[in-house]
Each structure stands twice: as C-alpha cells, then as structure tokens.
Copies of this chain bind each other. A is one copy, B any other.
Amino acid sequence: MDTLFVIKIGGNIIDDEAKLSSFLEAFAAVKGKKILVHGGGKLATKLAGQLGVEQQMIDGRRITDAETLKIVTMVYAGYINKNIVAKLQAYQCNAIGLCGADGNVIKAHKRVHPTIDYGFVGDVDAVNVPLLQSLLEQDNTIVLAPITQDGNGQLLNTNADTIAQETAKALGAVYNVQLIYSFEKSGVLMNAEDDASIIPQINSTSYKELKDQQIIFAGMIPKLDNAFAALQSGVAKVIIGKAEELHSLITGSAGTSIVHD
C-alpha cells in the first residue's frame, strides 16, 4: 500500500501569512500522496464582525446560522482554500481545492442535538473514496475546506479535525494513512508547562498507564481518544505536533506518534 499523509492545519498557521507560506513550502516538498485539511482561523470571525453578523460559540463550536454559513463558505471554501491552492501551485505542488460538496466528497447531515441548535453544522456520513483515490493516483494533492453538504442542496459547516479524521479513516482501506494534526504545542507533553517534555510515541498500553498515572493533561484526552479511535478504524499512525516541524513529524524526530500496539 502507498503511504498517504492527511495533514490538518489549524488557525494559528492560517492566520499568520509568513507561517502559512513556510508551512506550504514544506508541505509541497513532502514526497508522495497527500491531503491538506484546513480550518478557518480568525478570518471568518473578522468578516462576520465587519458585516455585523453576531457569532455565537458553544463549547468552542460556532453556531452556524444562515448568514454565518454564507460567511464560512466564502472564507473557508473560497478565500483560504483558493489562496492555499495558488501558493502550492507556485511551489510546484499540483493542488486541487475541494469542499465536501465537490464531487460529493464528504456527505454530512445537519447535526441533531437534544438541547442545542447548532444551525447549519454538519456531521459526516460518508467520504467519496473512489474520487479522492482517482485524483491522488493522478498526482493531484487535495486541499479540503471544512464545508460539507447533505445531498439535498444544503451546505453545512463541519469541524476541520473531523474532516481530517473521517477522510483518513475512509482512505485507510486503500492507503497506509498517516494522519497529522498540527497544533500549538510540540506534541503530547509529560509536563504541560514544558514544551521539551514530549512523549515521542504512545500506544494504547502506554496510554492507559499515562492516564492511570495522571501524566496526560486532561485537555489532551479527547484528542488522544480520537486518535486511538482513528487507529481502530484503519489509520496506520496519528502524529500530533507543530506544523512548523512538518518534516520532523513525518520522520518521527518531532511530535508524538500515536501507534498501534
């Protein structure tokens, strides 16, 4: 099986033009098949402010009313996605930007929640593996914006971490998928205050021990639970670390690798 990198970058990279350029240069240089999943950063919030569209967040999730959906579609699937694609082209990386609606790449449904109305927020149902595979086999790099659709003409705002994870899981059937989550910290830390105290590798056995010893910072537990869930569902390896260290994350000399036992 060929290796496929599914790499998710967050707002801290997208909001910083110099960091984004240097990340994209490094990403373009990664050999082989790859998918970049981007979130939105502060641009959507800024545009909403300029347009007087009030933003409501519940537990870090944006409540997506019709006006907000329009804004995130413009910013994520338009501005950010196409600028990333054009920059990758300049680095000789043949990128194609897609949102979940394109080619029905990611089908979702509007979130149903007993008490909170998230608005036009989508939870993922299915990933179009044949289309992604066909594009990857023709040496295209895919740049995914976190906008999906329900198959009935409705666009939906979807969490970019979820897009990365679902895409990685679905493509795990046909590739050796390495899922990289870039974030602010250098990896999973023994000591949350010490950025040098990285745990280089965790498997489910050591994860249990680290949790029992209360070494893992509580905020990391959902991320790690998700990572292990991805491993259970066909992903070969999950890597967590700084986007600025992409090549070292891939070689294993930086970040934390979450691996099978």
**Interface of A with B (CB < 8 Å)?**
50-51, 70, 73-79, 81-83, 85-87, 89-90, 94-99, 101-104, 131, 134, 138, 140, 147, 149, 151-155
Residue of B70, B86, B134, B147 near A153 (CB, 8 A) is B86
B90/A152 in contact, CB under 8 A: yes
Indicate the member of A81, A102, A155 with the most B CB atoms within 10 Å: A102
Q: Which residue of B lies closest to A148 (CB)?
A: B86
Chain B residues, CB < 8 A from A90: 151-153
* A153 to B: closest C-beta gap in Å: 4
How many chain copies?
2
A83/B151 in contact, CB under 8 A: no
A78/B86 in contact, CB under 8 A: no
In the complex, what distance in Å separates the CA atom of A152 from the CA atom of B81? Answer: 16
In the complex, what distance in Å separates the CA atom of A152 from the CA atom of B76? Answer: 21
A86/B51 in contact, CB under 8 A: no
B82/A99 in contact, CB under 8 A: yes
* A75 to B: closest C-beta gap in Å: 6
* A33 to B: closest C-beta gap in Å: 15
In the complex, what distance in Å separates the CA atom of A103 from the CA atom of B96? Answer: 5
Residue of B74, B86, B134, B140 near A138 (CB, 8 A) is B134
B79/A74 in contact, CB under 8 A: yes
Task: List, sorted by A's number, 28 A–B pairs whose CB atoms are closer than 8 Å.
Answer: A50-B51, A70-B79, A73-B82, A73-B83, A74-B74, A74-B75, A74-B78, A78-B79, A82-B155, A83-B155, A85-B99, A85-B101, A85-B149, A86-B155, A89-B101, A89-B151, A90-B151, A94-B104, A95-B101, A95-B103, A96-B98, A96-B103, A97-B98, A97-B101, A98-B102, A103-B140, A131-B140, A134-B134
Indicate the member of A78, A101, A104, A154 with the most B CB atoms within 10 Å: A78
Given contacts A89-B101, A95-B101, 7 further A-B contacts (CB under 8 A): A50-B50, A73-B78, A73-B83, A78-B82, A83-B155, A96-B103, A134-B138
